[in-house]
Amino acid sequence: MKIALAQLNYHIGNFEYNTKKIIDHIALAKAGGADLVVFAELAVCGYPPRDFLEFEEFIALCEDAAKEIASHCKGIACIIGLPVKNEAVAGKDLYNAAYFIEEGEVKATVKKALLPNYDIFDEYRYFEPATAFECIDFKGTRIALTICEDLWNINNNPLYISNPMDVLITQNPDVMINIAASPFSYEHDDARMVVLSDNAKKYKLPLLYVNQVGAQTEIIFDGGSLAYNNEGQLLDEMPYFKEHLKTYTLANGTFEGYAPVAHAESSDIAQIHDALVLGIKDYFGKSGFSKAVLGLSGGIDSAIVCALACRALGPENVMAVLMPSKYSSDHSIRDALDLVENFGCKHEIIAIKEAADAFDSMLAHAFEGLSFNLTEENIQARSRGIVVMAMSNKFGYILLNTSNKSECAVGYGTLYGDMCGAIGVIGDVYKTQIYQLAHYINKDCEVIPENTIVKPPSAELRPGQKDSDSLPDYDTLDAILYQFIELKKSSAAIIAQGYDEAIVKRILKLVNGAEFKRYQTPPILRVSPKAFGMGRRMPIVGKYLA
């Protein structure tokens, strides 16, 4: 039997778009000789639909789309993911499910049993877990069909008390198929491959896995659909960060023409780069936008965001606004102009001295007798925020935020100033990773000026200002932040590793004290195992770890 995997980029709630894409790929798979074509988890509506699922019309539109898709399944079968109603009164109103469609009819419905409710996942908010499991018989082949998390309960610390495959294996299936919406992080592809390999080995079955690709606001899906033999050996790996359709021939318990291969290794920074480019591109394309604006300071963070935006949208669609203050150095302006020239994007130079001076004058009476401090620095940052938002309003540009994860973590940024924007491009990338990303972008030729990379980072809001005046060195800061944020270590556990106690306690206090700021920042493109946003939920007024 020939089974095609369709690794596609869906758009949440865009039923016309998703339905046409699925139907087009049914036709392509059929033309390629496939007997069955498999689409991703919740492909019909896009993942994650979140509270769209609470609208009855949304569920009805899913069913309408499924009927339209079924009408095109003649001479080929398909598997599609969608939410379906729970007809029982007790329990949640919906199941996360898959339809097996053959000759225009839904011949089987498979429901997801293991509903993730951690990090960015919130499936138990909407769905009832399945309790019954049946294989699907098609053309003499028995298929054990599961949905994403259903294969993830296979480790030394199981999260769930049941395992669908333990039931399905008793029905003597010939192949496992898993449809997924498995989000990207730079560590997740390795973990995913271990889980899938372990399933193939445990149940001694060949396995096909299809993942979606594309970004849905802050969540990015990397694709990388996979095929394994019944010994858990990787046979094939589809491309990452792009759509793809591929057909596999299942015969005699294996996929013909494939020998075991090694995982196509890619560095964390290369993956982060590709994910962020895709994240920007899809945020704009799926929102109906085309042109971006950002403040370009001459520093490394805004240089990285400008470079990524130019690669995602085309330099002709990127407006870089240079906003020197009276404290800005000539080399910062020159570095920013060099970057603009290297990428060929648009630019404007709009000095903020007059605006900042005007605010100082307005507030002179109220501030009489008080010295210059953080207040005046923030006025400059907020003046810049007004300028880039004015450009956004006047020309329809969408503002890109340029704050990195280290800054977001400790609150080193100005609300309604440099923290404003529609999407946080690098808010999940630590400063130390930012430097690696700059070198990666420059791997073929220098597009980010070398001086931008090597000079000490500074907000240039007062004479001689450096980030190091306010923060520990970034190597130390990021190492401690990683232990606290990603690994969820306490201050005592971090100090026990040899870090200075005073520095650790100061950093953790800064992180917790900045929670109110992060609640007001734009969504951040997620590339790490623990990003700020929906995957990390902390109380603003909590005392623990303060």
Task: Give pLDDT tens digits for 18-30.
Answer: 999 999 999 999 9
Q: Does the pLDDT at position 240 exceed 80?
A: yes
| Mean pLDDT value across residues 30-41 | 98
Q: Tokens in use for 30?
A: 């059929």
| Mean pLDDT value across residues 95-110 | 98
Task: Give pLDDT tens digits for 342-388.
Answer: 999 999 999 999 999 999 999 999 999 999 999 999 999 999 999 99
450 closest CA partner among 458, 459, 438? 438
Task: Give pLDDT tens digits for 190-239.
Answer: 999 999 999 999 999 999 999 999 999 999 999 999 999 999 999 999 99
Q: Does the pLDDT at position 126 exceed 80?
A: yes
d(CA 405, CA 443): 23
Tell me the pLDDT of the chain averaged across its residues. 95
Q: Which of 147-161, 258-272, 509-523 has the lowest mean pLDDT?
A: 147-161
At CA 362, angle to CA 359 and CA 363, rounded to 5?
90
Percent of the chain with pLDDT over 90: 93
| Mean pLDDT value across residues 318-330 | 89
d(CA 468, CA 291): 34
Q: What is the pTM of this model?
A: 0.95
Q: Residue 476: inside a domain, yes or no?
A: no
Contact (Cβ atoms closer than 8 angstroms) between residue 400 and residue 301? no
- Same domain assignment for residues 228 and 330: no
Q: Residue 540: inside a domain, yes or no?
A: no
Contact (Cβ atoms closer than 8 angstroms) between residue 81 and residue 43? yes
Dihedral sign computed on CA atoms, order 304, 346, 296, 481: negative
> What pLDDT is recorded for position 211?
98
Instruction: Give the residue numbers spanning the domain of 126.
Output: 2-258
Active site residue 41: yes
Active site residue 204: no
> What pLDDT is recorded for position 459?
65
d(CA 448, CA 320): 14
- Same domain assignment for residues 352 and 248: no
Q: Residue 533: inside a domain, yes or no?
A: no
Q: What is residue 455's three-state secondary structure?
A: coil
38 closest CA partner among 209, 243, 197, 241? 209
> What pLDDT is recorded for position 546?
54
Torsion, CA 281, CA 287, CA 292, CA 293, rounded to 10 = -130
Can you give the CATH number for the domain in which 180 is found? 3.60.110.10
Of 429, 445, 467, which residue constitutes the final position of a domain? 467
At CA 507, angle to CA 502 and CA 512, rounded to 5?
130
Active site residue 112: yes
- Same domain assignment for residues 209 and 115: yes
Q: Residue 264: inside a domain, yes or no?
A: no
Number of structural domains found in the chain = 2
| Mean pLDDT value across residues 128-156 | 96
Q: Which H or E run contains 400?
A: strand 398-401
- Cα 447 to chain centroid distance, Å, stands at 26
- Same domain assignment for residues 248 and 296: no
Q: Does the pLDDT at position 525 exceed 70?
A: yes
- Same domain assignment for residues 436 and 394: yes
Q: Does the pLDDT at position 438 exceed 90?
A: yes
Can you give the CATH number for the domain in which 295 is found? 3.40.50.620
Of residues 30, 112, 246, 431, which has the active-site annotation? Answer: 112
Of 258, 279, 314, which residue constitutes the final position of a domain? 258
Q: Residue 389's CB: how many other CB atoms inside 10 A?
A: 16
Binding positions for deamido-NAD(+) are: 378, 407, 517
Residue 506 burial by Cβ neighbours in a 10 Å radius (0-12, 13-18, 19+):
middle
Task: Give pLDDT tens digits for 255-303.
Answer: 999 999 999 889 999 999 999 999 999 999 999 999 999 999 999 999 9
- Same domain assignment for residues 328 and 447: yes
Of residues 45, 62, 78, 148, which has the active-site annotation? Answer: 148
Binding positions for L-glutamine are: 118, 182
> What pLDDT is recorded for position 544?
79
Q: Residue 514: inside a domain, yes or no?
A: no
- Same domain assignment for residues 16 and 95: yes
Of residues 21, 30, 41, 405, which has the active-site annotation? Answer: 41
> What pLDDT is recorded for position 460?
65
| Mean pLDDT value across residues 84-111 | 97
CA distances from 3 to 6, 7, 251 (A): 10, 13, 11
Which residues make Cβ contacts (< 8 Å) with residue 83, sequence separation at least 6?
Answer: 42, 45, 49, 53, 59, 62, 94, 95, 96, 97, 126, 127
- Same domain assignment for residues 279 and 242: no
Q: Residue 487: inside a domain, yes or no?
A: no
